[in-house]
Structure 1
Amino acid sequence: MFAVIPSTARAADPAATTPAPKVLRYSIRAAETGFDPVQVTDLYSRNVTSGIFDAPLRYSYLGRPYRLEPNITDGLPEVFDDHKRFVFKIKPGIYFADDPAFNGKKRELVAEDLVYTVKRHYDPRNKSGHLYRLEGAKILGLSEVRAEALKNKTPFDYARPVEGLRALDRYTVEIRVAHSDPRFLYHFADPMVGLMAREVVEAYGDRIMEHPVGTGAWRLAEWRRSSRMVLEKNPNFREMRYHEEVGPDRPAALVEAVKKLQGRKLPMVDRVEISVIEESQPRWLAFLRKEFDFMDELPEDFAPVAIPQNKIAPNLAKEGMRAIRYERADISASYFNMEDPVVGGYTPEKIALRRAIALGVDVERQVRLPRKGQAIPAQGIISPGVTGYDKAFKTEMSQYDPARAKALLDLYGYVDKDGDGWRDLPDGSPLVLEYATQPDGRNRQLVELWQKDMDALKVRIRFKIAKWPENLKAANAGKLQMWGMGWSADIPDGENFLGLAYGGSKGQSNKARFDLPEFNALYRKQHSMADGPERVAVMQDAQRLLTAYMPYKVEVHRIYTDITQPWVLGYDKNLYQRDFYTFVDIDTDVLAKAHVKKKP
């Protein structure tokens, strides 16, 4: 365990011979689930694994539009045969963090580690939540190895050679796929391909979620589950210098900071401390007390005081704070489990039930009240900020029409049959919705609106409250009837959202377990198409099917604001380069002055 450095002592002591470590502190609003890149799918765990594990590629931290760059590869991978063959060349001299699994030897990253990491997604034992993304292109031979393991109930054969995934030499990997995939490389900049060493995975076995060992800039130094995570510099991290570029149209403070940071060795801070605080008020108050260096995801409850008219409040601006407001490229949705006997199914009366419930949800009121205007109603499952989104695209996804909802329920036999004032199922048994949620204040406000909307339809609804990691586990196992969830883009492309309803991703991203042949065909069709109007048209047809069958009531696309303290240099929101803490610095002089001013 490491001693906690008080926030008032983080600046360098002029009398000391060596400066105090630079510590970046922030809080998150939902607990992590673990640190295995293959298994974790939640945003907060992935933000940590992205700093510990290297993906082959990365996105430029400040480059807009987002662009791919080499990370541990010597240049971008070569692409051949109409996006069906890809060659990765790994830079020599990249090393894993030290770990007992390496028996005291320094362990270099090699081609076989990329091969092994990809194969882990196909191993049924790991229950990868990302497999469908690789399966879209279909790496030749790997699906067959997986199918054999499932059929025979035998361990996945990692040693079996496959045509589509080969180490050509110590540093070169060739990947071949069956289906042309112009966006295949996007996945190799994602934390899901955080490169792992086989010795580590085998050493820790079922405890691998607790023992992350990578080649990234950071190592996990301390972990108290659902409470606190501490990252410290990986002593074995390679030489990497700050080289970000930012246009003159960006905020002046960011432009000035980028000039100062050029050529600095990364990472620039020594330690990152991440606290889990689920309730909004204590998170906000702790930030105002300068216990955290920036506010990640300003709680909507405090938007009116922190960003009135969506601009930083004068009192915060006077202190030197900076607000970064951005569309998240995400959705907030409530899903229906399509395998549930009450709300699932593809028959007309089941479709009518889901559509009626959706029509009875007042999204505009949700935006106005609990979300405090920090969201826009959704027309489909594809969010702003990614390929495939069209601002002019309109559906009834966010339409509020309680009269029509009641008429649909009446028409398909969801009426009060026993005279107790509540609607029943067509067979006369009680109609009861069970909606999973979390115990924090924001979710309490959201489910209160759901309660009012369903009461107005005379539909019973009960709420099943659990911690977020517990709900995620139950959702992946298909055990929840309904759940209010968010989904943020993994890549800057709408296919990432369509995958939420693709039959091949059931039990992974597809929490609704939707499996419609017509939708699956459209998903596969757009997958191999080049970007352009024709592909967008196919994606819109797929979204119309989702509106018709309503496995997801997509409610809003959220707008977030992060706020930095004046001593944080170089911070900007990058939705796809998640280890932002690698690219920022702390101005210790400004920090020291701020805390001197704070003292009585």
Structure 2
Amino acid sequence: MGKYSWSKLMFFMMLVLVLALAACGGGSSEEETSEDSGDSGSEGSSEESKDEGGEEGESGEVYNYEDFNQVVSNDGEATGEGTLKVGLTSDTPFEGTLNWNLYQGNPDAEVLSLFDEPLLTMDEDFQFTNDGALNFEVNEDDKTVTFTMEEGVKWHDGEPVTIDDYVYSYEVIGHPDYPGIRGATDGFTLIEGYNEYKAGEADSISGIEVIDDQTAVFTYKEIAPSLTAGGFWYYAMPEHHYEGVEIADMAEAPQTRENPLGIGPYKVDSVTPGESVVMTKFEDYWRGEPNLDGIELSVVSPSSIANALETGEVDYAINFPTDQYPDVAEMEGVEWLANIDGAYTYIGFKLGEWNAEEGRVDYKPEESKVGDKELRRAMWHAMDNEAVGKRFYNGLRWEATTLITPYHAEWHDDSIETPEYDPEKAKQILDDAGYEDTDGDGFRETPEGEPLELNFASMSGGDTAEPLANYYIQSWKDVGLNVKLTNDRLIEFNTFYDMLENDDPEVDIYQGAWSVGSDVDPYGLYGPDVAFNYPRYATEESTKLMEKGNSPEALDVEKRKEIYNEWQALMVEEMPVVPTLYRAYVVPVNERVTNFGIELGYDEETLPYKWGVTE
């Protein structure tokens, strides 16, 4: 599996189910940095500009990610030694929860991906394969999946990885005292006895039976389509390493933060909290001896990452800010790779609250300043997202239309009509809905004649953060809406998501981003009982469609597509969020690096243990 599918794809596969790009590292405004923003244009422009990054505009050269390589062109033989210097681009230290079962932020995931690896692999169509350390066999008739661990796989302390370590992941995540954020998706809740275990009503998960050291059989209530498209958990957890540690204390334990264990080609030697990690070759890696002596990762600020690449301080940059690419595209000694990103940015509207006691969304549009669909529709018409993609990202991000992205090419419905950029139409919609400037101050009042001031939350980070937020504010002001930044400033990553999660009354509108995962199922972001449903939108129709999309009837792929096309259209009609940009990402790699790629799907030749440097 290439770099993309090893760290980012495996992370994205899971993240849609459990975590915001609130966890995503990067340097641009809507990217949640610790995930994660011209010409006049419209969504009715050419297919190329809509789906692949556009054509050349007045702002300068416009790039298309499909014109880039996905594998480095250096095909020289790796020396078998040397250290790869990795820069994690972030204006925030990584948290340091270095265990896949316990971490929350993308910076930690990027660190993890360099020393621990998923047990399961995935093809370019986002279906699990049997090329990893764990194999599986589905029996639809008796609703079971048999998992078999390869022999010879070892933890970095030399202990063998057994099926018990895989089962232990489920037991930790499902435990009532589990301090993390996973375990609410079908891959867990459909296992017989899991919910009873989670509720503390049982001491074990009855649907998991360990046969021997290498084999376990999981019995499910039903075999849902999502299971083989990212629904199984991907990681083992070293039970022996956490012996004597209470589950509630695991995230803060030294076993997680100071001496984490993995099964990947490189093992952790030392951790400087929040700043750097030194890794060395794990000679007993199960696939074969790695091509490097080690990897050194350090956090580098978005403002410094380009210089670090140019001077050779960094060989490879994670989460390089896309908006910086045009300025450094011709940098000597660096090759640029690019691919479509499994993510989208969006404008969200706060339409209710999270009911923590009952674990569900309380959808209250009648109490929200932005509860009127016509107001939201007008705000969509006021945004020129095609121009945003060209001017701010030189085509490496482009206008979004629906909440199922072109990353899922077979599922994205580009035939759905969405509001196009038309400020005059936006004004007419507002007029017709009763939003008029009754006091002559240049801003519209509510249909009831009350002042309408909307607070817009947007994150700090990167050169585009402030101008992009200002662009959207000005676009809405141009149609008579009084929108201002929440607290009159851009908001730091952690504070931003605290405000969203706690439904801060100072947030009416916000700019965010989501990873979309390997499975097209959107329930993990917009389900009525999902805490990451930040707009707090939940209707019977939306919930019914999402549930149908992951039901046994949806094992018929064409039926599932029909269901999700209907859901996409519903979300365009309801607009709890407005998708703004689809995106590609760029990866700078020093020309001395070989066997490195960001292609989708499993590729033996660009697995991390094959990464190397040439003479």
Fold match (TM-score > 0.5): yes
Contact 1:28 1:274 in 2 (8 A): no
Cα contact 1:91–1:171 (8 A) shared by 2: yes
Per the TM alignment, residue 77 of structure 1 is displaced from its structure 2 partner at its CA by: 0.7
Matching residue of 1:153: none
Which residue of structure 2 lines up, in the alignment, with residue 269 of structure 1? 292
Of 215, 218, 221, 2:263 maps to: 215
Task: State yes or no: 1:55 paired with 2:118.
Answer: yes
3-state secondary structure, aligned to 1:38:
coil
Structure 1 counterpart of 2:109: 46
Shift of the alpha carbon at 1:513? Answer: 3.1
Instruction: Tell me the TM-score normalised to structure 1 length.
Output: 0.75
Partners in 2 of 1:201 and 1:338 — Cα distance?
45
AA partner of residue 277 (structure 2): M
Q: Does 2:190 correspond to 1:138?
A: yes
Give the C-alpha shift of residue 176 in structure 1: 1.8
| Aligned partners of 2:170 and 2:188 also within 8 Å | no
Secondary structure of 1:36's aligned partner: coil
Report Cα offsets for 1:125-150 as digits up to 9, x if no partner. 4464443433586222212333x3xx
Counterpart-to-counterpart distance in 1, 2:454 and 2:594:
52
Residue in structure 1 matched with residue 400 of structure 2 by the alignment: 378
CA distance in 2, matches of 1:69, 1:564: 30
CA distance in 1: counterparts of 2:301 and 2:344, whole angstroms: 20
CA positional deviation for 1:96? 2.7
Task: Confirm whether residue 450 of structure 1 aligns to residue 472 of structure 2.
Answer: yes
Provide the residue aligned with 1:239 in structure 2: 286
Q: 2:137 aligns with which of 52, 75, 78?
A: 78
**Which of residues 558, 561, 584 in structure 1 aligns to 2:583?**
558
1:354 partner SS = helix
Question: For residues 242-293 of structure 1, what are the alpha-carbon distances to aligned partners after superposition, in whole Å with 9 as ceiling and x for unaligned?
Answer: xxxxxxxxxxxxxxxxxxxxxxx23x223223333343x4211221222211
Equivalent in the alignment of 1:195: 237
Aligned partner of 2:350 in structure 1 is: 337
The CA distance in 2 between the partners of 1:124 and 1:369, in whole Å, is 49
User: 1:77 is paired with a residue of what secondary structure?
Assistant: strand
Counterpart amino acid of residue 586 in structure 1? G
- Counterpart of 1:357 in structure 2 is 379
Q: Which residue of 2 aligns with 1:111?
A: 163
Are 1:582 and 2:595 counterparts? no
Instruction: Give per-residue Cα distances to partners, 1:564-592, cap 9 Å, x unaligned.
Output: 22110011104577997724433342xxx
Within 5 Å, give how 1:395-414 maps onto structure 2.
395-396=417-418, 399-414=420-435
1:564 partner SS:
strand
Q: Deviations over 1:430-449 (max 9, x none)?
A: 42223131233222232121
Q: Secondary structure at the match of 2:584?
A: strand
What per-residue deviation string (whole Å, max 9, x for no partner) do you get for residues 502-525 of structure 1?
Answer: 223x214x3333322211111121
Q: Equivalent residue for 1:524?
A: 547
User: SS in structure 2 opposite 1:369?
Assistant: helix
| Alpha-carbon distance change, 166 to 353 in structure 1, aligned in 2, over 3 angstroms | farther
Asked if structure 2 preserves the Cα contact closer than 8 Å seen for 1:414 and 1:424, the reply is yes
Q: Distance in 1 between matches of 2:277 and 2:510?
A: 27
Identity of aligned residues (%): 17
In structure 2, distance between residues paired with 1:345 and 1:362: 29
Q: Is the 8 A contact 1:526 1:535 kept in 2?
A: yes
SS of match in other structure, 1:323: strand
Q: CA deviation at 1:562?
A: 1.7
Three-state SS of the structure 2 residue aligned to 1:335 is strand
Matched residue of 1:200: which SS? coil
Deviations, residues 12-54 of structure 1 (Å, cap 9, x unaligned): xxxxxx9974233233236434333234354332232234434
Contact 1:382 1:498 in 2 (8 A): no
1:500 — aligned with what? 525
Distance 1:383 1:116 in 2: 34
Letter of the 1:324 counterpart: L
Tell me how far apart the structure 2 counterparts of residues 327 and 125 of structure 1 sit (CA, whole Å): 38
Which deviates further from its counterpart, 107-116 or 324-333? 107-116
Checking the alignment, whether the CA contact within 8 Å between 1:325 and 1:562 is kept in structure 2 is yes
2:88 corresponding residue in structure 1: 27
1:293 maps onto 2:287 in alignment: no
Report the counterpart of residue 4 of structure 1 in structure 2: none
Amino acid at match of 1:200: Y
Whole-Å separation in 1 of the counterparts to 2:445 and 2:483 = 9
Alignment of 1:132-171 (within 5 A): 132-134=184-186, 138-146=190-198, 148=199, 156=200, 160-171=203-214
Relative to the length of structure 2, the TM-score reads 0.73
Note the C-alpha offset of 1:391: 5.9
Q: Hey, what does 1:533 align to over in structure 2?
A: 558
* Matched-pair contact (CA < 8 Å) for 2:115–2:266: yes
Q: Give me the CA root mean square deviation.
A: 3.5
Structure 2 residue aligned with 1:244: none
State the match for 1:227 in structure 2. 275
In the TM superposition, residue 386 of structure 1 has moved relative to its aligned partner by: 2.0
Q: Which has the higher contact order (CA 8 A, sep 6+)?
A: 2
Task: State the AA in 1 paired with 2:546.
Answer: Y
Alignment CA distance shift 1:351-1:29 (3 Å): same
For residue 91 of structure 1, what is the aligned residue in structure 2?
150
Determine helix, strand or coil for the equivalent of 1:139.
Answer: coil
Q: How do residues 429-508 of structure 1 correspond to structure 2 at under 5 angstroms? A: 429-457=451-479, 458-463=481-486, 464-479=489-504, 481-491=508-518, 493-495=519-521, 497=522, 499-504=524-529, 506-508=530-532
**Matched residues in 1 for 2:177 and 2:503: separation?**
18
How many pairs are equivalent?
A: 510
